[in-house]
Amino acid sequence: MDLTCGWGGQQVGAGEEERDGAPMSFGRRAGLPDVESKTPIVLVVTGRVTRAAVPGLCAELEALLHDPEGAARDPDAGVDCDVGGVVQADLALVEAIARLGLIARRAGGRQLRLRNVPPGLQHLLDLVGLADVVDLGERG
């Protein structure tokens, strides 16, 4: 199993400048209400997920969501999990998604959003009733 993860980074605060010296400007744009203003926290899962790998995935998401002191990092950012690279949709993967969703909820009521969901995983999530618990936004 390969695991790649990342955090969207820091936003420049009001009054700060970009590297080229141009002032930053903020503001909500009209339209596109479903587009987040903050870069989401992203966990990318590829390969085959085994039951033995689930605790490691959970620890990785915890590390992305909290700093070393336990404070929430960027509490307004969404939590995305890209599962497009998994090679087998099975109950171990479903267990991992359920546990990752629980971790996201415990971190300030966030909902785990899945990206690039393979059809087989979509069917399994429907079968076990998790399709209503996680956001199945982008399908593979």
Q: What is the pLDDT of residues 79-110, one digit of tens each?
A: 999 999 999 999 999 999 999 999 999 988 88
- Can you give the pLDDT at residue 54? 96
Q: Is the pTM of this model over 0.85?
A: no
**Percent of the chain residues topping a pLDDT of 70:** 71
Rg (CA), the chain: 17
Buried b (16+ CB within 10 A) or exposed e, 57-83: beebbeebbeeeeeeeebeebbbbbbb
The overall longest dimension of the chain from CA atoms, in Å, is 54
Q: What is the pLDDT of residues 41-93, one digit of tens each?
A: 999 999 999 999 999 999 999 999 998 888 888 888 889 999 999 999 999 99
- 23 versus 110: which is more confidently predicted? 110
Q: What count of other Cβ atoms lies within 10 Å of the Cβ of residue 114? A: 26
